[in-house]
Structure 1
Amino acid sequence: MNFQLLIADLLANVNAIVWGPITLCLLVGTGLYLTVRLKLIQVFRLPLALKLLFKPATGKGDLSSFAALCTALSATIGTGNIVGVATAIKIGGPGALFWMWLAAFFGMATKYAECMLAVKYRTTDARGRIAGGPMYYIERGLGLGWMAKLFAVFGVGVAFFGIGTFAQVNAISDAMSIAFHVPTWVTALVLTVLVAAVTLGGVKRIANVAQRLVPTMALGYVLACVWILIAFSDQILPAFGLIIESAFTPISAAGGFLGATVAQALQIGIARGVFSNEAGLGSAPIAAAAAKTNEPVEQGLVSMTGTFFDTIIICTMTGLVLIITGVWSGETAGAAMTSAAFASGGSALVGQYLVTVALVCFAFTTILGWHYYGERCWYYLMGDRGLRLYQGLFLGLIAVGAFIQLDMIWLLADTVNGLMAIPNLIAIIGLRHVIHAETLRYFSKRESSEMDRAEVVTG
């Protein structure tokens, strides 16, 4: 027991350093710089980005742009949208949701930049598959091979110990135990078999599952949230007021809520926002690089919508449901808090089952996405050597993840996430002129083409 406390204290101290002012400034600062430099691309180019989602696939690559986005979303829409939001509000109060919005808004510009760079600097591996992501634009764009390897090491770490395994498996196991009384060992066994069946088929099988499951589960969850929002519609405006107010002023203890400072709300909001949408983390570019496209900017725009869907829509929906129903200041936490919120708008049974099904689907697809990310990072480091070892280790961690203490899981996940983000954000800053030049080239070309078409029509 003393050993566990020692490890927990060590992780807490490391996490405080990793998610200290430097990382927070890097995350928000990079997004802020890109937002200004690219002239609010996440606002003015969002309609075009949404239109490009349905553009037919053209160019070299392994996946369509939509499939690449769904693969990325499969990794981002996970426990962060249900458990992560609940945890953030439980620790930092309603104001944490405001900081999640801020991180997401600037994160859209960051996501655009990193995914655009992934396509620009991608290459082909020895098997003829597309290989791309931060490790390639760090190496080929900046010429810093050592930092590219460092990113890949952290990427494998996140796949093994962060977003990819423990947090998701533990959430699925708890949800199945509470809602359906399924023993933990049964959930662990079935989940391991299902993950093996999908992931061993490679990125195309993962993408096929993601394309079918991600839009369906996201739409179903959003509709369920809308149902609660309609039931408590008179509380929506007060909820927004509480979110804004508590983002800038300390909030007192109430019920099961212990109170929070502005600094706590800011730190936990940004950390959970990044955990949810992964903007700046460097994960989504690995999937984006596989898209069938000849235009890096177009894939950057498509990928940018992932942060919009994940945080601006889904996390906001969850946060509002937690606040307007009043459960955020109650005794429950995590998935149980979200279940209680949905139960407020109907029967407890419906709320419990709804959250359980959503959580299981979200977490399962996140595991699939992160298996692919970790595998590509492993391949960058090792080539084909030991690929079976990676797959075996990943599946082994899935099997044991359900038996690890929840507090330790979130500390470990936050820590390795932060470590992965640092070299990626440094690379984005280092390649900022490339990002601007590529963006300017694309939109100049696009505007020129539109003018030519207009002249043909009028002539």
Structure 2
Amino acid sequence: MLQTIESANTAINNFVWGVPAMICIIGVGLVLSFRTRFIQFRKFGYALKNSIGRIFSKEEAKEGSITPFQAVCTALAATVGTGNIAGVAGAIAIGGPGAVFWMWVSALLGMCTKYAEVILAVRYREKNREGEYIGGPMYYIKNGLDKKWHWMAGLYALLGSLTVLGTGNATQVNTITTSINSALTSLGVIQESQVKLVSLVIGIVIAVLVATVLLGGVKRIGGVTEKLVPFMAVLFILLGLGVVILHIKSIPAVFQSIFVGAFNPSAFTGGIVGSFFMTIRKGVSRGIFSNEAGIGTGSMAHACADTDEPVRQGMFGIFEVFADTIVICTLTALTILCSGVPIQYGQAAGAELTISGFTSTYGNWVTIFTAVAMCCFAFSTILGWGLYGARCVEFIFTIKAVKPFMIIYSLVAIVGATMDLGLIWGIADTCNGLMAIPNLVALFLLSGTVVQMTRKYFSSGKS
């Protein structure tokens, strides 16, 4: 039975993330970029000023909302996760170094896609019975498109409520337990026979922490992610930069493998990875999986922001994709490729390949720091996706269903800590791809609204 489900999921996944998906994701990104005259490049400086420039702002949000910076931190909490570490490693192992180039391409277009998602989420959001702002793809489909398209809103919310349990929770907790157990065993703190018990304890602790934060509402989620995201990003960036600096002589060869391998992958993989399309597919799909541009989930967090300027909030979307993929994913790739660790091309790889890059450079002592970074990345993802799941459940049912969902979502952490999640990860990956379809259709149909709002905002003297 399980084998049948796995085979069916593999077939659907190959289609969802196949040629049609690549054409839709890149195509919509190009349409939005051309129609906004590549705003992600024209206004990049403005985007940085309105994101990094507001880190130290002490602004307070109104009741039922969070500050714009808390909104981007909540969105980054969900996007900057294990996909940045395990996803990049997997892309390189299956697609070769050239996959990194296509990850960059998808991110440069994705910056505009995420910008459009955020604008529409703020433009078409609503207030629920508790006075909280709610928004996202299902709301801009419902409030921005004709009734004949409204079925896509329900489909998106249904897929989202299923996906969060796997992608946003179980697999993330599994990463936390694996990282902690690996660090503790390598340092001799615990024995192999104690791993299962430690995993159970970790799962219970995470379930309690997740429930405590999520049941506190959107303000508590924003408050936690506002502190956690900058810390974990700085920690990982410093570790990655250290590897690059210590292997600075390898940089020219590494970039050559990325650029040449993007079009001739077999030149650097010994012929094991020789498919040009596989290199593109792995780079684009892992990039999208990491920054979520095109999936639309991040816009649910931005819809909670205390702002009357959808375009200004959209600038956070540009920064978000840049920070997630161009900065953090690139550092992950350079850590693997610069360190010279052996890569088994053609075979699946995950976080262990990235961790090997750190340990081969710094020594085994660094496992405790990589474990802390992995825990922060994964825990932040759990919080961000918990909010997304709540919004999807609220759209399908009512706000009364949110708290029961939060409790179930928190308990899934125990499952994630103690079980083999191969099939769950595969199904979640498929649902993630399916979520992109209604969102990309909506973005294409509402692209005129994005252009109109952008022109109006900047014609008023903003620069």
TM-score under structure 1 normalisation? 0.92
Would you say 1:217 and 2:221 are equivalent positions? no
1:345 aligns with 2:348: no
1:439 aligns with 2:449: no
Partner of residue 349 from structure 2, selected from 333, 356, 359: 333
Q: Does 1:301 align with 2:318?
A: no
Partner AA of 2:456 in structure 1: R
Partner of 1:457: none
Give the structure 2 partner of residue 173 of structure 1. Answer: 177
Q: 1:160 aligns with which of 138, 161, 165?
A: 165
Q: 1:327 to 1:258 in 2, by over 3 A?
A: farther
Q: Is the 8 A contact 2:98 2:265 kept in 1?
A: no
Q: Offset of 1:43 from its aligned partner?
A: 1.1
Paired residues of 2:215 and 2:403 also in contact (CA < 8 A): no
The separation in 1 between residues aligned to 2:409 and 2:291, in whole angstroms, is 22
Deviation at 1:406, TM superposition (A): 4.7
**Does 18-27 or 71-80 show the bigger shift?**
18-27
How far the C-alpha of 1:212 sits from its partner, in A, is: 0.5
Who is 1:456 aligned against? Answer: none
Whether 2:35 is the aligned partner of 1:33: answer no
Aligned-pair CA distance for 1:348: 2.2
Contact kept, 8 Å, 2:32 with 2:113, in 1: the verdict is yes
> Are positions 1:89 and 2:95 aligned together?
no
Matched AA of 2:165 = F
Q: What residue identity is the alignment partner of 1:276?
A: S
| Aligned equivalents of 1:170, 1:236: Cα separation in 2 | 33
* More moved, 239-248 vs 71-80: 239-248
Could you say what secondary structure the match of 1:345 adopts? helix
* Contact 2:95 2:265 (C-alpha < 8 Å) held by counterparts: no
Q: Separation in 1 of the partners of 2:354 and 2:280?
A: 21
2:156 corresponds, among 151, 154, 179, to 151
Q: How far does the alpha carbon of each residue in 1:225-257 deviate from its partner, in whole angstroms, 9 at most, with x for none?
A: 1110000001111111101111111326869x9
Q: Shift of the alpha carbon at 1:71?
A: 0.5
1:132 corresponds in structure 2 to: 135
CA RMSD for the aligned pairs?
Answer: 2.0
Q: Given that residues 261 and 267 in structure 2 are in contact (C-alpha distance below 8 angstroms), is that contact kept between their aligned partners in structure 1?
A: no
Q: Please give the alpha-carbon distance, in whole angstroms, between the structure 2 residues aligned to 1:198 and 1:180.
A: 27
Residue pair 1:78, 1:362 contacting (<8 A) in 2 also:
yes
- State the TM-score, normalized to the length of structure 2: 0.91
Q: How big is the shift at 1:426?
A: 0.5
Structure 1 residue 192, shift from structure 2 partner? 1.0
- The match for 1:76 among 53, 63, 79 is 79
Q: 1:270 Cα shift?
A: 1.2
Contact 1:338 1:355 (C-alpha < 8 Å) held by counterparts: no
Q: Find out whether 1:273 has 2:278 as its counterpart.
A: no
- Does residue 316 (structure 1) correspond to residue 330 (structure 2)? The answer is yes
1:329-350 per-position Cα deviation (integer Å, ceiling 9, x unaligned): 2599312111110112221221
| Equivalent in the alignment of 1:46 | 44
Q: Does 1:8 align with 2:24?
A: no
Tell me by how many angstroms 1:132 deviates: 1.0
The Cα of 1:260 is off from its aligned counterpart by 4.3
SS for the counterpart of 1:228 is helix
User: Aligned partners of 1:332, 1:23: CA distance in 2, in Å?
Assistant: 22
1:372 to 387, 407, 414: 387
1:174, distance to aligned residue in structure 2 (A): 1.1
Which blocks of at least 5 consecutive residues in structure 1 are unaligned? 451-459
- More deviation, 365-374/244-253: 244-253
Amino acid at match of 1:336: E
How far residue 59 of structure 1 moved from its aligned partner, in angstroms, is 8.6
Equivalent in the alignment of 1:419: 434
Q: Tell me what 1:455 maps to.
A: none
Aligned mates of 1:178, 1:220 — CA distance in 2: 19
Structure 1 residue 288, shift from structure 2 partner: 0.7
Q: Give the length in aligned residue pairs.
A: 443
Q: Structure 1 residues 282, 244: closer, same or farther in 2, change over 3 A?
A: same
Aligned to 1:263: 277
Give 4+ residue runs of structure 1 displaced > 6 Å after superposition. 58-61
Q: In structure 2, what is the Cα distance between the partners aligned to 1:138 and 1:15?
A: 25
Aligned identity (percent) is 42
1:19 aligned residue (17, 20, 42): 17
Unaligned regions of 5+ residues in structure 2, if any?
A: 186-194
**Greater displacement, 54-63 / 76-85:** 54-63
Secondary structure in structure 2 of the residue aligned to 1:282: coil
1:173-252 map, 5 Å: 173-181=177-185, 182=195, 183-251=198-266
8 Å CA contact retained: 2:97, 2:268: no
Aligned residue for 1:128, secondary structure, equals coil
Report deviation, 1:393: 2.2
- Which deviates more, 408-417 or 202-211? 408-417
Deviates more, 1:11-20 or 1:365-374: 11-20
Structure 2 counterparts to residues 442-453 of structure 1, below 5 A = 442-446=457-461
Shift of 1:384: 2.3
Offset from partner CA, 1:109-158 (integer Å, 9 cap, x none) = 00000100111111111221111111111011003321111111111122
SS in structure 2 at match of 1:446: coil
8 Å contact kept, 1:175–1:359: yes
Tell me the amino acid that sits aligned with residue 394 of structure 2.
Answer: Y
